[in-house]
Structure 1
Amino acid sequence: MTEPILTVDQQPHGAGRILLKVTGELDHHTAPRLSRELTSVPLAPDGALVLDLSGLTYCDSTGITVLVGAYHRTEAAGCPLALAGLSPDLTRVFHTVGLDQVFTFHPTADDALRALAH
């Protein structure tokens, strides 16, 4: 059995907007990696954070907990957060547990970045 792989690529997009492209499996093995990356992102009220999840192939409850933690951190900083590129399965999970009332979803990272442009 192979260990799950998760990559996180941080890309600044001007005006304080940051894109984190998350690829692979987000579970109890890989969640600490995403948590570390999220903690390292500078957040400011005049910026924005977009999490591109289009490359996410799996996400368990630990991964969702990390995403909720990101929401709390961005809220505390007054920094908008958007999720982009969710698979239909992940979208269904977010709707089922009511997180569609918490997060803002966009079809693509580009759509999210445009929506959060100042």
Structure 2
Amino acid sequence: MTDFHLTPQHTDHDLALAHVTGDLDIATAPDLRSQALALIEQGHRHLILGLADVTFCDSSGFNALVGIFRCAKAADGSLSLATVPDRLERLLSLTGLSTLLPAYPTAAEALAATRSPDTATA
């Protein structure tokens, strides 16, 4: 098991970009969820999670992402993913989560899409 970290890298009004590192599994999923929800509760209702350094993700990790998505939506916000490793992108597609969680190749593209007028008023 590797260490898990969620590190906010950019916060701007109702938007936050956070970098996630380590394993997302039964041991770390509750921390992912609680730390992400803390950002939403601080007013950053549009959340982008950069996943480039996620080394493993099981169903508990995916479940945490769905929970974060639901809380962001309840706050009239959104959850987007950036720099998703290929193996996770395939699993998101296979599970159908890719329809809920938009994924972008870079954090810059995720930031630009989240700041677009269509997303800002959603």
**TM-score normalised by the shorter chain: which range applies?**
0.7 to 0.9
Cα distance in 2, alignment partners of residues 70 and 17 from structure 1:
14
Cα distance in 2, alignment partners of residues 5 and 64 from structure 1:
18
Cα distance in 1, alignment partners of residues 56 and 78 from structure 2:
25
Q: Where do 1:1-118 residues align within 5 Å?
A: 3-42=1-40, 47-117=45-115
Dislocated runs of 4+, deviation >2 Å: none
Unmatched tracts of structure 1, length 5 or more: none
| 1:8 alignment partner AA | L
Look up the SS of the partner of 1:94 in the other structure: helix
Equivalenced residues, count: 115
Higher helix proportion, which one?
2
Look up the SS of the partner of 1:116 in the other structure: helix
* Contact 1:4/1:29, CA 8 A, preserved across alignment: no
Normalising by the residue count of structure 1, what TM-score does the alignment of the two structures yield? 0.88
Unmatched tracts of structure 2, length 5 or more: 117-122
Q: Structure 1 residue 18: deviation in Å?
A: 0.3
Q: Structure 1 residue 11: deviation in Å?
A: 2.9
Q: Structure 1 residue 75: deviation in Å?
A: 0.9
Q: Structure 1 residue 13: deviation in Å?
A: 3.1
Query: Identity over aligned residues, as a percent?
Result: 32
Look up the SS of the partner of 1:42 in the other structure: helix
CA RMSD, 1 decimal: 1.7
